[in-house]
């Protein structure tokens, strides 16, 4: 794939292909999120029953990501990426046909399962591409997801503005994604088994080894912290600005919009920063930036400063999850997919439970204090950042980790 520092055409095509898979996953998610109100009305769901239906997605994500880790090591990341991508594009259409709770929840559960499968597999493929390039590319791949999500949200909003039902919107997102994936899927890098394990990227510190289970656990903690914060901002930032700081709903929505924009921009430049500073140093610095942003958003009572804090938080979180997932793919030299799958599954489990825990605490101590849990998580990310330099030791006995 890569000889004498020259990136081959095969590797370039693989990078294009996996970038498109990330973008399509974001596109489909963005279209779905934009049309949730339409699906809710079509199925005559209350807020409570809608919450039950939506909870099926993260449950599926956790299960799909854990299983995908094992399958990637058996059949290869390319095959699992193709399967996950097709499943996501097809299944996102089905809620547009639903007229009751079961008709939405069941497809969303399976959609989440294939989404978790796709996320692990495409990240494993990204780790292989990164190893072939010999320099960081993972953060730019995650930027493609963010760009796809933005485009999907705008497209979904345009369909809603035109007065179209949910079904044609979801069919557009899923259909367009499916065409792109079927066209470029053959460019993904083949391979499976022990030979599928990626080379160390130049930015990884040499000589820092730990038992595989310690590396996976540490990276899982980092994934939980980052995704809980991200989920909390998505679910609670607008509520916090509206209810606690007294802003209008339109102004409150700017918090998450600004967060998303700076996260996308940060991911577009993140690979250069990783190459210059290395993952541990960069993520520690970014965690401190996130910490400052959260303190500004929650400790001050000014809506403009709160929005500025969430904006800063997006920049701070931008590179964190891509680098944690990349390290997860290198955590287990013998089974890279299994290590990555466990890290992703832990992160999704945290993203599922975190916002709900914040909501439960908010009913007791208030949203500002409950939201402050994210400050502790950002501090923990800064302390745990050195784990990104760890390498898993190869097994000397069966059954370890």
What CATH number does residue 368 fall under? 1.20.1250.20
Measured between its terminal Cα atoms, the distance across the chain in Å is: 31
Looking at residue 50, its pLDDT comes to 80
Res. 336: pLDDT tops 50: yes
Q: What confidence category does residue 395 fall into, taking pLDDT thresholds of 50, 70 and 90?
A: low
For residues 162 and 248, state if they share a domain: no
Question: What residues have CB less than 8 Å from 255, skipping those under 6 apart?
Answer: 233, 237, 238, 240, 241, 297, 306, 307, 310
For residues 232 and 352, state if they share a domain: yes
For residues 179 and 326, state if they share a domain: no
Q: Lowest-confidence range among 12-26, 156-170, 312-326?
A: 156-170
Res. 306: pLDDT tops 60: yes
Compute CA 147 distance to the chain's CA centroid, rounded to the nearest angstrom: 13
State percent of the chain over pLDDT 70.
92
Looking at residue 379, its pLDDT comes to 95
Domain boundary among the residues 196, 231, 262 is at: 196
For residues 175 and 254, state if they share a domain: no
Query: CA-CA distance, 143 to 135, in Å (whole number)?
Result: 16
* Residue 203 in domain: no
pLDDT in tens, 188-242: 998 754 444 454 454 444 557 888 888 999 999 999 999 999 888 887 888 888 8
Nearest 5°: the CA angle 151, 157, 161 is 145
For residues 118 and 263, state if they share a domain: no
Looking at residue 4, its pLDDT comes to 42
- The residue among 24, 36, 191, 11 whose CA lies nearest residue 108 is 36
* Residue 232 in domain: yes
CA of 63: how far to CAs of 18, 85, 311, 315, in Å?
A: 22, 16, 32, 30
Say if residue 149 is exposed, middle or buried (CB neighbours under 10 Å; 0-12, 13-18, 19+).
buried
Stronger pLDDT, 367 or 383, i.e. the higher one:
383
Across the chain, what does the average pLDDT equal? 86
Residue 239: CB atoms within 10 A of its CB come to 16
For residues 236 and 352, state if they share a domain: yes
- What is the number of structural domains in the chain? 2
For residues 281 and 386, state if they share a domain: yes
For residues 11 and 46, state if they share a domain: yes
* Residue 201 in domain: no
Quick check: helix, strand or coil at residue 306?
A: helix
For residues 92 and 229, state if they share a domain: no
Mean pLDDT of 259-280: 92
pLDDT in tens, 76-108: 999 999 999 999 999 999 999 988 999 999 999
Q: What confidence category does residue 338 fall into, taking pLDDT thresholds of 50, 70 and 90?
A: confident
Question: What residues have CB less than 8 Å from 237, skipping those under 6 apart?
Answer: 252, 255, 256, 259, 297, 310
Mean pLDDT of 266-275: 92
Looking at residue 203, its pLDDT comes to 47
Domain boundary among the residues 196, 227, 252 is at: 196
Say if residue 398 is exposed, middle or buried (CB neighbours under 10 Å; 0-12, 13-18, 19+).
exposed
Domain boundary among the residues 151, 171, 196 is at: 196
User: The pTM is what?
Assistant: 0.86
* Residue 105 in domain: yes
* Residue 401 in domain: no
Looking at residue 53, its pLDDT comes to 85
DSSP string of 245-270? S---HHHHHHHHHHHHHHHHHHHHHH
Give the residue numbers spanning the domain of 186: 2-196
- Containing H/E element for 226? helix 212-239
For residues 63 and 158, state if they share a domain: yes
């Amino acid at each position: 794939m890569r000889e004498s520092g020259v990136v081959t055409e095969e590797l370039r095509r693989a990078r294009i292909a996996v970038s498109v898979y990330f973008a399509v996953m974001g596109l489909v998610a963005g279209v779905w999120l934009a049309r949730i109100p339409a699906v809710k009305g079509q199925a005559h769901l209350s807020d409570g029953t809608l919450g039950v239906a939506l909870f099926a997605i993260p449950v599926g994500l956790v299960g799909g990501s854990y299983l995908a880790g094992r399958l990637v090591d058996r059949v290869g990341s390319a095959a699992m990426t193709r399967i996950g991508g097709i499943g996501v594009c097809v299944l996102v259409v089905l809620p547009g046909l639903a007229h009751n709770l079961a008709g939405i929840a069941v497809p969303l559960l399976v959609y989440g399962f294939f989404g978790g499968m796709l996320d692990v597999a495409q990240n494993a493929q990204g780790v292989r591409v990164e190893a072939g390039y010999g320099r960081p590319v993972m953060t730019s791949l995650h930027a493609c997801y963010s760009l796809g999500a933005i485009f999907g949200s705008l497209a979904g909003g345009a369909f809603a503005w035109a007065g179209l039902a949910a079904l044609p919107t979801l069919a557009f997102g899923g259909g367009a994604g499916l065409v792109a994936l079927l066209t470029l899927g053959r460019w993904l890098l083949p391979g499976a088994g022990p030979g599928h394990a990626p080379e160390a990227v130049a930015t990884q510190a040499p000589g820092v080894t730990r038992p595989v289970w310690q590396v996976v656990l540490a990276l899982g903690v980092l994934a939980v912290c980052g995704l809980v914060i991200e989920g909390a901002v998505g679910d609670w930032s607008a509520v916090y600005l509206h209810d606690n700081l007294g802003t209008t709903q339109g102004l409150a929505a700017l918090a998450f919009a600004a967060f998303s924009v700076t996260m996308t921009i940060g991911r577009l430049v993140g690979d250069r920063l990783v190459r210059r500073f290395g993952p541990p140093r960069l993520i520690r610095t970014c965690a401190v930036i996130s910490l400052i942003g959260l303190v500004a958003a929650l400790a001050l009572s000014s809506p403009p400063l709160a929005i500025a804090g969430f904006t800063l938080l997006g920049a701070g979180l931008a590179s964190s999850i891509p680098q944690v997932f990349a390290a997860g793919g290198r955590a287990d030299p013998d089974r890279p997919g299994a290590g990555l799958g466990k890290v992703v599954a832990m992160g999704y489990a945290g993203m599922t439970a975190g916002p709900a825990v914040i909501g439960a605490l908010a009913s007791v101590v208030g949203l500002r204090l409950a939201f402050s849990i994210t400050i502790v998580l950002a501090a923990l990310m800064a302390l745990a950042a050195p784990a990104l330099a760890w390498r898993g030791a190869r097994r000397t006995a069966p059954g370890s980790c």
